[in-house]
C-alpha cells in the first residue's frame, strides 16, 4: 500500500509503503535534459520508462544480478526494495559519444573494448562532476573494495545487456547505473534502466532510440520509447 511521498525527483516519485523496507517508484510523464534546464511534460512517457525498466531488471534478476526490483504494480508504478542510494552515477561506455567526445576529444563512435567505466558524483548543485575512485570512497562512504565491486557489477551488467539488446537490433552504446545499500548492508543495483538512462542505436541505421531525440530535438520521444518496448516484447 502506498504511503507518504518520500522524495520527488525529475523523473519519478518515491513513496514509502506499509512495509518499512519496500518503496514504490512512480514514473512521471516528464522529460528533462541538461540537469533539468530543458523540461517538458510528455503524456505516456512514465509508462514506457516503467515497463522498459521492469523488463530489463527482470532479465538481470534472472541472470542473478542483485537488484532492488521486486515487481511491476501497474503501468506507471513498480515495487522495489528500499536502499540508501550511493550517490554515484556509474556510466559504462561501449562507444564514444556524448560528454566523453566533448570533454576528452575522442572521435565519435570510437569503440571502447574493454568497456570504459566512469564515476560521477550524483550532486545536482555540482552538476554531477566526474570523479576518480579515491574521490568516490571519500565522498560516498564506501570502501575501495566496494567501489571495485560496483565497477565489476557495472561491467558484468554491460556484458549481459549487450547481447540482450543486440538480439532485437539495438546497439547498447552507453548507460548510467545507480547502486544502493539495502537493509542488510548489501550493495544492489537500483534506480532505472531505460531509454532515459541508456543510449540505444538501431543496429542498421545508427538512429537514436533513446532520450537523445529529446535532448537534441531530433525526433519523437514517445515513438522511439514505444519502439524499444515493442522490441523487448519480442524476446521470449
Shortest separation between residue 103's beta carbon and ligand UDP, angstroms: 8
List the single partner that 128 binds among ligand ADP, ligand UDP, none, CB under 5 to 8 Å by kind: ligand UDP
Distance separating alpha carbons of residues 53 and 21, to the nearest angstrom:
20
Distance separating alpha carbons of residues 207 and 6, to the nearest angstrom:
37
Distance separating alpha carbons of residues 204 and 170, to the nearest angstrom:
9
By C-beta, is 90 or 170 nearer to ligand ADP?
90
List the single partner that 80 binds among ligand UDP, ligand ADP, none, CB under 5 to 8 Å by kind: ligand ADP
3-class SS of residue 160: helix
Residue closest to ligand ADP, measured at CB: 9
Shortest separation between residue 210's beta carbon and ligand UDP, angstroms: 7
List the single partner that 198 binds among ligand ADP, ligand UDP, none, CB under 5 to 8 Å by kind: ligand UDP
Distance separating alpha carbons of residues 44 and 120, to the nearest angstrom:
29
Shortest separation between residue 188's beta carbon and ligand ADP, angstroms: 8
Asked if residues 189 and 65 have their Cβ atoms less than 8 Å apart, the reply is: yes
Interacting residues with ligand ADP (CB under 6 A):
7, 9-12, 14, 23, 68, 80-83, 85, 178, 180, 190-191
List the single partner that 175 binds among ligand UDP, ligand ADP, none, CB under 5 to 8 Å by kind: ligand UDP
Half-sphere exposure at residue 166, Cβ-oriented, CA atoms within 13 angstroms: 8
Interacting residues with ligand UDP (CB under 6 A):
89, 91, 98-100, 128, 174-176, 197-199, 211
Asked if residues 63 and 56 have their Cβ atoms less than 8 Å apart, the reply is: no
Closest to 58 (Cα-Cα) out of 232, 226, 201, 180: 232
Amino acid at each position: 500500500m502506498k504511503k507518504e511521498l518520500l522524495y520527488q525527483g525529475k523523473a519519478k516519485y518515491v513513496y514509502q509503503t506499509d512495509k518499512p523496507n519496500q518503496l514504490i517508484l512512480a514514473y512521471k510523464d516528464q522529460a528533462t535534459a541538461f540537469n533539468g534546464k530543458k523540461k517538458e511534460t510528455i503524456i505516456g512517457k512514465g509508462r514506457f520508462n516503467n515497463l522498459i525498466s521492469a523488463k530489463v531488471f527482470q532479465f538481470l534478476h534472472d541472470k542473478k544480478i542483485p537488484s532492488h526490483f521486486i515487481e511491476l504494480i501497474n503501468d506507471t508504478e513498480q515495487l522495489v526494495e528500499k536502499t540508501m542510494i550511493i550517490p554515484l552515477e556509474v556510466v559504462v561506455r561501449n562507444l564514444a559519444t556524448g560528454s566523453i567526445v566533448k570533454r576528452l576529444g575522442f572521435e565519435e563512435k570510437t569503440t571502447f573494448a574493454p568497456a570504459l567505466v566512469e564515476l560521477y558524483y550524483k550532486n545536482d548543485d555540482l552538476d554531477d562532476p566526474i570523479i576518480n575512485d579515491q574521490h568516490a570512497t571519500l565522498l560516498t562512504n564506501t570502501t575501495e573494495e566496494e567501489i571495485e565491486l560496483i565497477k565489476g557489477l557495472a561491467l558484468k551488467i554491460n556484458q549481459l545487456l549487450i547481447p540482450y539488446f543486440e538480439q532485437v537490433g539495438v546497439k547498447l552504446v552507453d548507460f548510467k547505473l545507480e547502486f544502493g545499500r539495502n537493509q542488510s548492508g548489501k550493495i544492489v543495483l537500483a534506480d532505472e534502466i531505460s531509454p532515459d538512462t541508456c543510449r540505444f542505436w538501431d543496429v542498421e541505421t545508427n538512429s537514436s532510440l533513446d532520450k537523445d531525440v529529446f535532448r537534441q530535438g531530433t525526433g519523437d520521444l514517445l515513438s522511439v520509447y514505444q519502439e524499444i518496448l515493442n522490441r523487448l516484447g519480442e524476446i521470449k
